[in-house]
Amino acid sequence: MRPTILILTLLTTFYLTGCSVNPVTGKNELSFISASREVDIGKKNYVPYQQQQGGRYSVDPDVNRYVADVGNTLARLSGRPNLPYEFVVLNNGVPNAWALPGGKIAINRGLLMELEDEAQLAAVLGHEIVHAAGKHSVQKMQQSILLGIGVQATAIAAQGTEYGRAAAAGAGLGAGLWSARYGREQELESDAYGIDYMVKAGYDPMAAVELQETFLRLSKKNGGGSNWLQGLFASHPPSQERVNKNRAKAQAIGPGGVRNREAFQQAIAQMKKDKKAYEDHQSAMKAAAEGNNKKALTLIDSAIKRQPEDALFHSTKGQILLAEKQDSGAAKAFTKARTLDPDYYMGHLGLGLIQKKQKRHSQAKQSLITSTKLLPTQVAIYHLGEIELGQGNKQAAIQHFSTAAQQGGPLGEQASARLQSLQSPQ
């Protein structure tokens, strides 16, 4: 079969068998990723995404419950009320929120600190619920798979291989596809339907206008661009158009609805009390990145003195002390972090690296394995390979080194060298 005919055949098959009605918009659209697969994707990536961004905010667990209550109220009024929604507050100072397929939603501590009341929180969560319920990230995956099929189909025809290999290539697409920048239409769609959900729940729609004004203000404050707000503005680009459209919709709906300012302010009271501690932590990380570990230690100790129950602070102190080769102090800091929050990977990882250095290999192995269950980092996988090799488990070591090598970088090169040595004929 000629390449052009094969490509058309494949695409036609998708369009004929994969059309469905979007549960949010009611529009017909291409859909060949099943609902169960969508849920599986979100479930698989939810914890690693949290771990990469500071882990759950655990100093005051009541905040997580409060946010989840608001989110679940909105989700029940959405176009897909039966998705297994989850809502979590992340210990991250960047004012951001995101949604994975299947209704897995997160909001950062930094964004909560920019909000004034529960109605504005509802505007954030309603927007993210639409991204999940409206399959926005799944649509990006499907587009990428279709583009991949077009490329692969030509190669298939040229090489005489079967279609199954192209399908396998599409199935391996990475998580970045649903965290990429949403398009203008998707953002406007999420704004509009998100307002509908919050109004059904009894909130004032003007809160959605104020939210977009806040994002626009932060964008201008940041010079339109990079570093600390990069993630937010990459995935949720603010614009005056969004402010204007939200205002027009809110005015058409009319005034009214609750704000629940007192309840919201009470929910974030601990965060506000700890504001200086988080500023010290941010400054400590900046100083460490600039190589000024002495200043970084002074700042992180200040953060810990102000809020000793935050595992993230102790993890950061452990990393600074590890860089200074103060292993004993680092071990204490990582142990404290692990005790305060056993569900955050960094305490396990840092302690595992120190235990390995001290030749306490059984303990190190357990600590590193625990860390990879939360977040499979290259450094943990590489060192697990070394431990397995030292214990005579050659095949397990090869598997770990192979995984580490695939991630590239200097450690990936070391893993490749290890692999080559292990696989070379003796």
Q: DSSP for 43-57?
A: HHHHHHHHHHTT-B-
Judge whether residue 175 has pLDDT over 50: no
Q: Quick check: 400 and 385 in contact, CB under 8 A?
A: yes
Closest of 95, 70, 96, 93 to residue 85, by C-alpha: 70
- φ/ψ of residue 105, rounded to 5: -125, 145
> Does pLDDT of 138 surpass 80?
no
Cα R_g (the chain), whole angstroms: 24
Range from 2-6, 138-142, 245-249 that averages highest in pLDDT: 245-249
- b (16+ CB within 10 A) / e for 221-242: eeeeeeeebebbbebbebeeeb
Where are the domains positioned within the chain? 3-253, 274-357, 376-426
> What's the rounded Cα separation, in Å, for the pair 404 and 386?
11
Q: Return the sign of the alpha-carbon dihedral for residues 219, 225, 227, 232.
A: positive
Mean pLDDT of the chain: 84
Whether CATH 1.10.540.10 fits 274-357 = no
Distance (Å, rounded) from C-alpha 303 to C-alpha 297? 10
Distance CA(232)–CA(224), nearest Å, equals: 11
pLDDT at 383: 98
Asked whether the predicted pLDDT for residue 391 surpasses 90, the reply is yes
- β-pair partners for 203: 258
Grade residue 149 by pLDDT with cuts at 50, 70 and 90.
very low
What pLDDT does 232 receive?
Answer: 57
CA 354 to CA 233: how far, in whole Å? 38
- Helices within 21-95 (DSSP H only): 35-52, 61-75
pLDDT of 29 above 70: no
pLDDT at 164: 28
- What is the model's pLDDT at position 218? 87
Claim: this prediction has a pTM higher than 0.75? yes
For residues 57-78, average pLDDT: 97
pLDDT at residue number 184: 80
**CA neighbor of 95 nearest in space, from 211, 264, 193:** 211
- pLDDT for 232-284, tens place per residue? 555 667 789 999 999 999 999 998 899 999 999 999 999 999 999 999 999 99
Helices (H), 97-183: 109-112, 118-133, 136-159, 164-171
Residue 323, pLDDT above cutoff 90: yes
